[in-house]
A = this chain, B = another copy of it.
Amino acid sequence: MSSAAEFTDQEAEPGNTIDRAYPGGIPEATVARLPVYLRALYTLGERGVSTVASDELARAAGVNSAKLRKDLSHLGSYGIRGVGYDVEYLVYQVSRALGLTQRWPVVIVGAGNLGRALANYGGFLTRGFRIEAVLDTDASLLGRELGGVLIRHVSELERIVTENSIAIGVIAVPAGAAQAMCDRLVAAGVTSILNFAPLVLSVPEGVDVRKVDLSIELQILAFHAQRRNAERFGQAVDQAAAEA
């Protein structure tokens, strides 16, 4: 959380860089792709590339170059015509747009396999985020270390969230416990939740929930796989079963 206090007067101040750079906000679809660009840029940077053209960056990110350029244009005009983009500078601008110039403290609720996988995700998670705590109810896990953080009891949830001004919580508990954990996170002040439990969480207005669902992704793959088969085999698959 920022230390800034009350600037409500200059909301529409012209010349405010954010107003110029983000006229009417960045489209959701663009926001969802910025992290992909950011990762591609990091990879290029590590390889010593200092300048990259939209074609190349687009290939690395798995999109077409027109889309990439349009996306980046929503952040501002940070490329050089005839040349391309400066990798380091673009990393900075994309990071800034995503809000990653600060480091967000995160609490992970659930220290099962998934919680552990998250806590150990290391490399990429640590850019822009810091795991402040991992919580569980299982007494046998308490005190164990996970990704450099001790596993603590969920009874400490409220205190930890408040003391560290945690805005982002990750739910990695079984479906049955997820809504209760969500309610506690929200009550304690968390406004962004990443939900791995397979259910739709109810949250009050103003709380942002994103879900990651393993079985949903598999089911989408199954749909396309079936469709591919149907095409190959003349679409007669399941024909009999379809009526009634």
Contact surface of A with B, Cβ cutoff 8 Å: 1-2, 4-11, 13, 16-19, 21, 25-26, 31-32, 34-36, 38-40, 43, 60-62, 96-102, 104, 106, 112-114, 116-118, 120-121, 123-125, 127-129, 167-168, 170, 191-194, 198-200, 206, 208, 210, 212-230, 233-239, 241-243
Residue of B nearest to A13 (CB): B235
Extra pairs beyond A8-B234, A99-B225 (5, CB < 8 Å): A11-B234, A13-B235, A17-B238, A31-B223, A112-B117
**Out of B117, B167, B220, which one reaches A32, CB within 8 Å?**
B220
- With A200-B60, A218-B168 in contact, is A238–B101 under 8 Å at CB? yes
A138 to chain B, nearest CB (A): 15
Give Cα distance in the complex from A9 to B236, angstroms: 10
Please name the 9 residue pairs, one residue from A and one from B, whose CB atoms are nearest each other, closest first: A7-B234, A99-B226, A17-B242, A113-B117, A35-B219, A192-B221, A114-B117, A35-B216, A124-B215
Give Cα distance in the complex from A99 to B227, angstroms: 8
Give Cα distance in the complex from A121 to B214, angstroms: 9
B212 touches A212 (CB 8 A): yes
What would 15 A/B residue contacts be, using CB atoms closer than 8 Å?
A: A2-B237, A7-B236, A17-B239, A17-B243, A18-B239, A21-B242, A35-B213, A35-B215, A98-B219, A99-B226, A125-B214, A127-B215, A129-B218, A208-B224, A210-B217
Give Cα distance in the complex from A215 to B235, angstroms: 39
A207 to chain B, nearest CB (A): 10
B218 touches A39 (CB 8 A): no
Residue of B nearest to A124 (CB): B215
- With A114-B117, A120-B113, A236-B4 in contact, is A191–B222 under 8 Å at CB? no
Give Cα distance in the complex from A121 to B172, angstroms: 12
A105 to chain B, nearest CB (A): 11
A230 touches B18 (CB 8 A): yes
A229 touches B124 (CB 8 A): no
A37 to chain B, nearest CB (A): 11
Contacts of A168 in B (CB 8 A): 218, 221-222, 225
